[in-house]
Structure formats: structure tokens, C-alpha cells
């Protein structure tokens, strides 16, 4: 019995000494700052770090701040333009790469699409800035939309590709066998089955676009400021409770979108 106990002692990771404590520290480090930020957004004091009482004062102030509203609207315009565009491009890429049969550079192309995930964002940001500057493209918000579309493609691509790879290719063959031509097979079988994947790709692209800071900072000119860029400019003048409030709202929105993303992702697996 003695030897058996020794063998099984470390079979599960939670049998290691201090596992629970370390886990608590780890999650605390990740989430306590965010939790405190959200708490202080309801602080009635005008000093960010001194708690005086509960109030919605800063949220009310946000909604009367025209600059924040413009920046928020800009962020949504960019996300609602860039995320669908990225999703459409990602869908066609995934279809070509997964269902397009064998062709040259297939593996290579697949890698090339997801490569931007590994490239440091600042590199992409500077490169995008130089690209627009050297071509003299200066269309304000359109520049931001173009940049966001490009870097959102890999994020939209991954869940769509995964959904397509999980789909039994015999389903499409079965439809073709049952007198369905290529177009109607795509419409009646492939697309409906791929919809959860496409939606989750869209959600991911949307969140990434809404949250992006570095690339937007480089690309956005005057009048094209998005919310994260505006928050940064507010922080430069000191952390006010208003910043806490607007950050909390962004957090709530992101959580909502990510929840939707997981919901659709689970649907793919069933």
C-alpha cells in the first residue's frame, strides 16, 4: 500500500503542495486590478484612488462628454466595418484552404494568413503607418478601417477554419449525390453548418477591433480617434474616475461579445 500511495500521490496536479495558494495568487494578480478599477468607477470622489461613497456620477459625466461619444461612435464604425469585411475574407480563405483540394503553397498560405498573430503589433503598426504615408492615403477613418480589416483577418480565420475542418466532408458529397449542384450545396449545407464558426470568427474580430490601441494610435489621424486612443490621452492627463468608468463599460461590452463567442463556439462542437 505504501508504494502504491507514493505512485499515485502526484497523479493529479492539485496534489502538489501549495497548488491552491499559487493558483489564488495567479488569478488574483490577473483580476484584482480590474476588479478594483470597476469598483472605483462608482466612486463619488473626484480623486481616483480615494473612496468617499457610491455614485453613478462619472457614468453620467461620460454621457455628457462629446469627445468620448465621438470616439465611441468612431470605434463602433470601425469595428462594424472592419469585422464583417475581415470575416468575409477569412471565410473565403478558409473555404479555399480547407475545401479547395490540393494546390501549390496550400500549407504555406495557411501559415501566412495566421502569421500576423505572431508578428509584434508595433511592427505591424509602424509598417501600416509607413504604407499609408508613402502612398499618401489619408482618408481619416477609412485608413483605420483598412488597417483593422487586415489585422482582424487571422482572428476571424481561425475559428472558421476550425469549424470547416470539423465538418464531415461527406455531408457535401451526400448533398451532391442527392442532385444538389455546387451552388445549392453551399447554400443549403456548407453555409448553414458553418454559420456558428463564421459568427464566432466575427465576434472575435469585432472584440479585437474595438480593443485595438497600438495600430490605431499610429494610423488614426485627427478626427479619427477611437475609444482606446482617447482613453490613453485622458490617462496622460492623470487617472480620473471618468477613465475608470469608460474602461468598465468597455470591459462589460467585451465580456458580452466574448460570451457570445463562446456560445457559438460550443454550438460548433455539438
Q: Closest CB to other proteins among 46 and 182?
A: 182
CB of 83 to other proteins, least distance (A): 24
CB of 189 to other proteins, least distance (A): 6
Q: Within 10 A of 117 (CB to CB), how many other CB atoms are there?
A: 12
CB of 188 to other proteins, least distance (A): 8
CB of 93 to other proteins, least distance (A): 23
Say which residues have a Cβ less than 8 Å from residue 121's Cβ, sequence separation at least 6.
Answer: 151, 214, 215
Q: Closest CB to other proteins among 33 and 192?
A: 192
Q: Closest CB to other proteins among 171 and 255?
A: 171
8 Å CB contact between 160 and 197? yes
CB of 228 to other proteins, least distance (A): 38
CB of 260 to other proteins, least distance (A): 20
Q: Closest CB to other proteins among 66 and 177?
A: 177
Tell me how far apart the alpha carbons of residues 137 and 145 are, in angstroms, rounded to a whole number: 13
CB of 168 to other proteins, least distance (A): 6
Q: Within 10 A of 79 (CB to CB), how many other CB atoms are there?
A: 24
By CB under 8 A, name the binding residues for other proteins: 102, 168, 170-171, 173-181, 184, 188-189, 192-193, 270
Q: Closest CB to other proteins among 147 and 160?
A: 160
Q: Closest CB to other proteins among 5 and 170?
A: 170
Q: Closest CB to other proteins among 105 and 179?
A: 179
Amino acid at each position: 500500500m505504501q508504494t502504491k500511495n507514493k505512485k499515485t500521490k502526484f497523479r493529479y496536479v492539485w496534489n502538489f503542495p501549495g497548488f491552491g495558494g499559487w493558483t489564488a495568487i495567479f488569478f488574483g494578480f490577473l483580476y484584482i486590478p480590474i476588479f478594483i478599477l470597476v469598483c472605483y468607477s462608482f466612486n463619488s470622489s473626484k480623486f481616483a484612488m480615494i473612496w468617499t461613497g457610491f455614485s453613478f456620477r462619472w457614468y453620467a459625466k461620460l454621457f455628457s462628454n462629446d469627445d468620448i461619444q465621438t470616439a465611441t461612435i468612431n470605434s463602433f464604425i470601425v469595428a462594424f466595418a472592419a469585422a464583417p469585411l475581415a470575416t468575409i475574407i477569412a471565410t473565403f480563405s478558409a473555404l479555399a484552404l480547407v475545401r479547395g483540394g490540393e494546390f501549390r503553397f496550400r500549407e504555406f498560405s495557411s501559415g501566412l494568413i495566421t502569421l500576423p498573430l505572431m508578428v509584434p503589433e508595433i511592427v505591424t503598426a509602424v509598417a501600416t503607418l509607413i504604407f499609408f504615408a508613402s502612398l499618401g492615403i489619408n482618408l481619416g477613418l477609412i485608413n483605420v478601417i483598412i488597417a483593422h480589416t487586415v489585422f482582424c483577418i487571422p482572428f476571424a480565420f481561425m475559428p472558421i477554419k476550425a469549424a470547416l475542418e470539423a465538418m464531415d466532408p461527406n455531408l457535401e458529397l451526400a448533398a451532391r449525390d442527392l442532385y444538389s449542384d455546387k451552388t445549392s450545396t453551399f447554400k443549403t449545407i456548407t453555409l448553414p453548418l458553418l454559420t456558428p464558426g463564421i459568427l464566432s470568427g466575427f465576434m472575435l474580430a469585432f472584440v479585437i477591433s474595438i480593443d485595438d490601441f497600438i495600430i490605431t494610435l499610429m494610423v488614426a489621424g485627427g478626427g479619427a480617434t477611437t475609444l482606446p486612443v482617447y482613453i490613453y490621452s485622458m490617462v496622460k492627463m492623470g487617472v480620473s474616475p471618468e477613465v475608470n468608468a469608460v474602461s468598465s463599460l468597455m470591459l462589460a461590452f467585451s465580456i458580452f461579445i466574448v460570451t457570445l463567442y463562446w456560445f457559438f463556439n460550443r454550438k460548433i462542437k455539438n
